Structure 1
């Protein structure tokens, strides 16, 4: 266990040219094309907010998709092809693979109802158009529409009622 701020890999972020990094041969993570495009939008709008994690020899432990996106001419131009990197020195390949899995799995997944609440807020309170939500969240129109509708579904069915109707109660 690394204790103290100075001992943390994040304290040693360096800007490395993307050509000095390379993929590992085992990453089980796959990102679909729409999400890859969303990652590009994220970096273009927010900048580089997460470093790529690599071994000293440039083999990527985590951040393969950020590295892939960095080859897009628009992202490349942001930093002249340089990407933020944190170096790890896992003692063995097995430890490196475990690190990759931990990084991938720790991100979790989005729940439908919390996403519906976010879409509803973006539209109703923040004033974004459907098109803005589509582009900036990497969603299709139908997904925005369904999430927006879902965000108000529970309130709509219970307006003026203390509880759900008997039709919602299982008899067995």
Structure 2
């Protein structure tokens, strides 16, 4: 366990030429083309918010897809072909592979109802168009529509209702 801020790899972010890095030969993670496009949009709109994790020799431990999209001419131009890197020195190849798996699996997944609430808020409160939500969230029109419709589902049909049918009462 690494104690203290200075002991954390994040304290040593460096900008290196993207061409100094290379893929590892075992990464089990795959990102579909729409999500790669969304990753590009994320970097173009928000900038680099996460570094690539690499060994001292430039082999990527985590961030292969960030590294991949950094070849896009627009992203490349943002930093003259440099990418943010944190170096890890895993004791053995097995430790490096475990680190890759942990990084990939720790990201979680999005729940449908929370995403529906976000889409509804983006449209209703933030004033985004369907097209803006599609482009900026990497969604198809049908997905935006379905999430938007589901986003108010728990409130729909309950306005001015104070008495509900006994058919909805749970029994034991």
> Under TM normalisation by the shorter chain, which class is it?
over 0.9
Unaligned runs of 5+ in 1: none
Divergent runs of 4+, >2 A: 157-172
**CA distance 1:31–1:57, shift in 2 (3 Å):** same
SS in 1 for 2:2: coil
Distance 1:108 1:164 in 2: 37
Distance 1:33 1:132 in 2: 19
Query: 1:157 maps to which residue?
Result: 157
Query: 1:110 maps to which residue?
Result: 110
CA drift of 1:8 comes to 0.4
Query: 1:49 maps to which residue?
Result: 49
Query: 2:10 maps to which residue?
Result: 10
CA drift of 1:161 comes to 2.6
Contact 1:38–1:138 (8 Å) recurs in 2? yes
**CA distance 1:163–1:153, shift in 2 (3 Å):** farther
User: Which aligned pairs between 1:12-161 and structure 2 lie closer than 5 A?
Assistant: 12-161=12-161
SS in 1 for 2:136: helix
SS in 2 for 1:61: strand
Distance 2:101 2:157 in 1: 42
CA drift of 1:13 comes to 0.3
Contact 1:158–1:164 (8 Å) recurs in 2? no
Unaligned runs of 5+ in 2: none
Alignment root-mean-square deviation, CA: 1.6
**CA distance 1:165–1:17, shift in 2 (3 Å):** farther
